[in-house]
Amino acid sequence: MLLAWEMWRGWRAGVVRSAISLLAIILSALVGLAAGKLASLPFGGVGEMPGLIVGALVGGGLGLFVFFLVWFLGAVLFKRTEHQSSGIFRFFWGAGGAAIGLVIGLFIVWSSISIVRALGALGQARVETVAKQEKNQTTQHPPKIASGLATLKDSLELGPAGKFVQAVDPIPPDFYELIEQMGRLSGDQETMLRFIQYPGIQEIMQSPRMVELINDPEVIRAAEKRDILSLMANKSLLAAVQDPAMAEKLQKIDLRAAMKFALESPPPSPSPSPTAPVIKK
């Protein structure tokens, strides 16, 4: 149904408008990826958690701006199929737009599958975290949305169709694994505490910039309210982000190793050995 809808929209828009829409998607993706990669470099690149977050925010915002700008110019400068005069010319004008609409529809389906797999990885992490907490009797059932996304992801990856989906997905499997680890890390207080205990993270936490952030009342209030905009505009946070020494320390941290350390079960504490019985001869 989506492909049929996109072909009908392409027919109405015409070959030039449809081509510009496709160009807008490709150009915005290229610009967004390049901008995101550059923005993530001071934070260790897209392979590290801080760099991934910063790159996604910067690249996503700039990519959307480029897309709407190119699409708007195409809509203003070129006519639709119904506004063309000649019947034969109008037919080929619309048929070309329908073909490009099919390509755009396939791109949307392809992107949607990647998004579902990413959200499903987060949902799977949430389900596993809740299952772990249920053993400790600290919570009830996992959210239905998280369970639904995890089930949908598993459904996409089952059978021959699932193998095809994983083969054509341009996003590497490590990305979904990283997302799942981040979800498990952020959803469990015990795991987060173990993450903070990692030696490299401890060095960051004890730095003067981080101590200033932790003691800043505005940062505490914004964190409690989950006000991301206030956090991004906070002067102490901006100063920490722009500090070259802090950026150098962040680059030296192996966040994958830190997350592995946090997600592994802590070794059991040794139990006192029982007193050996006295054997009388």
**DSSP characters for 104-151?**
HHHHHHHHHHHHHHHHHHHHHHHHHHHHHHHHTT---PPPHHHHHHHH
Give the pLDDT band of residue 278 (cuts 50, 70, 90).
very low
Structure tokens that stand for 104 in this block? 């755009």
Per-residue pLDDT at 186: 66
Give the pLDDT band of residue 130 (cuts 50, 70, 90).
low
Check residues 6 and 245 and name the one with the higher pLDDT.
Answer: 6
Are 179 and 121 a contacting pair, CB within 8 Å?
yes
Are 241 and 210 a contacting pair, CB within 8 Å?
no
10 Å Cβ neighbour count for 37?
A: 15
Per-residue pLDDT tens over the stretch 136-167: 555 555 567 767 777 777 777 777 777 777 77
Per-residue pLDDT tens over the stretch 35-86: 888 887 776 666 566 667 777 888 888 888 988 898 888 888 888 888 877 7
Name the residue with tokens 């400068």.
77
Per DSSP, the three-state class of 161 is helix
The Cα 242–Cα 245 span in angstroms is 9
Residue 98 has pLDDT above 80, yes or no: yes
Per-residue pLDDT at 8: 92
What is the end-to-end Cα distance of the chain in Å, rounded? 89
pTM to 2 decimals?
0.51
The Cα 128–Cα 243 span in angstroms is 37
